[in-house]
Amino acid sequence: MTPPFRTPHALGYRTDLALRRLAGAQVEDRGDFTVVRTPDNPTFWWGNFLLLHAPPAPGSLERWLARFREAHPTARHVTFGLDTVGGEAGAAEEFGAAGFRLTRDTVLTAPATTAPDRPLPSGVTLRLLENDADWDAALELRVAVNAADPHPLEAEGYRTFAAGRLAGLRRAQEAGHGACLGAFVDGQMVSGLGVYDAGGGVTRYQNVETHPAQRSRGLAGHLVHFAGEWARHHLGARTLVIVADPEYHAQRLYERVGFRPSELQTGLERPPAEG
């Protein structure tokens, strides 16, 4: 049996940890922080991190680096989540001087989604992933999205990471905890996302993405709405949760289908050193 852990105060991390556990992560309460491990996907930064129960205090950098190394001795990255709701970051400047990037994402919620004004393009089918071919298509979509990023991650390393994430989501889907869904055109998956039960009537979205050649057609908006309706009917969702980078256009897309900002999700991440 998985041991109990402290439920995060912040909705973003509360749903993050719920989904990590569904996908097979280990979550361990250490008093003033929580350790999250995903043993079968060690390069997943936000599957292998420490969640600090309060923002880091000035002068605490070396202490937290030591705690991270104890929990994740082979990790090349370092990631800390901060269990706050308003973007409080504590000694972020001290961490920034040590190579960390401060992340602040918007957590949005809705009781239900609304259909986009723009009609679904002809020939597009929205449905759950059903078989090996569908999951393979989901992996190829993620690889294509990464390749089109202005700062793509290394191709083979990213494929391994993405395959591990999808494997965890597939296990959770097959256990009845949610689903990954896609928009398909002529058998090709051109947009995808996941929706999973985070407990207490809360459902969390994961990885909304669209193939670079299929963007600006309204596919993601329709898929977000379709997934929200599926979650309400099949998971008993009363609160839908989605997280977005406020500097990226996706937040506006989510707001157009009914989501509203609720809190900020804050973290500190340092990628692996090059070489």
Distances (CA, A) of 231 to 7, 19, 223: 23, 15, 12
Query: Is residue 18, in this structure, part of any structural domain at all?
Result: yes
pLDDT band at 205 (very low <50, low <70, confident <90, very high): very high
pLDDT(247) > 90: no
> Do residues 153 and 101 share a domain?
no
At 40-95, the pLDDT tens digits run: 999 999 999 999 999 999 999 999 999 999 999 999 999 999 999 999 999 999 99
Tell me what pLDDT residue 75 has: 96
pLDDT of residue 1: 43
Is residue 1 a part of any domain in this protein?
A: no
Q: Flag whether 153 is in a domain.
A: yes
Indicate if 86 and 180 belong to the same structural domain.
no
129 in the same domain as 229: yes
Give 102-156 pLDDT, tens digit per residue.
999 999 999 999 999 999 999 999 999 999 999 999 999 999 999 998 888 888 8
- Residue 183 placed within a domain: yes
Structural domain count, the chain: 2
Domain match, 96 and 199 both: no
Kindly state whether residue 114 falls inside one of the protein's structural domains.
no
Task: Give just the sign of the alpha carbon dihedral 134, 191, 119, 233.
Answer: positive
| SS3 category, 74 | coil
Residue 44 is part of a domain; what is its CATH number?
3.40.630.30
Q: Is residue 249 part of a domain?
A: no
Residue 63, phi-psi category: left (phi > 0), alpha (psi -120 to 50), beta (remainder) = alpha
- 162 with 192, same domain: the answer is yes
Taking only the tens place, the pLDDT of each residue in 108-122 is: 999 999 999 999 999
Residues 67 and 163 in one domain: no
Looking at every residue in the chain, the average pLDDT score rounds to 94
Same-domain status, 81 and 55: yes
- Asked if the structure places residue 43 within a domain, the reply is yes
How do residues 152-174 score in pLDDT, each as one tens digit?
888 889 999 999 999 999 999 99
Could you list the residue range(s) of the whole structural domain that residue 98 is in?
11-106+266-270
What is the pTM for the complete model shown?
0.94
Q: For residue 96, is it within any domain?
A: yes
